Structure 1
Amino acid sequence: MDEQPAEVLTKYGMMRKTYLQEHKKGLYSGLLLTGRLMNHLLEIQEAAEQRMEEITEQMAADEGVTEELKSKDQMKWIQLMNSIRHSAEEIVLTELIYN
Structure 2
Amino acid sequence: MAATRSLNWSIAMKEIATARTQRPAGLLAARGLIAATSAKRRPLVVGGEYDRGAIMAAAVAAARVHQARTGCAWGEAMSVTLKATWQIAKAARAAAAH
Instruction: Give 1 or 2 for the bigger CA radius of gyration.
Output: 2
Q: Which has the higher strand share?
A: 2
**TM, length-normalised to structure 1:** 0.33
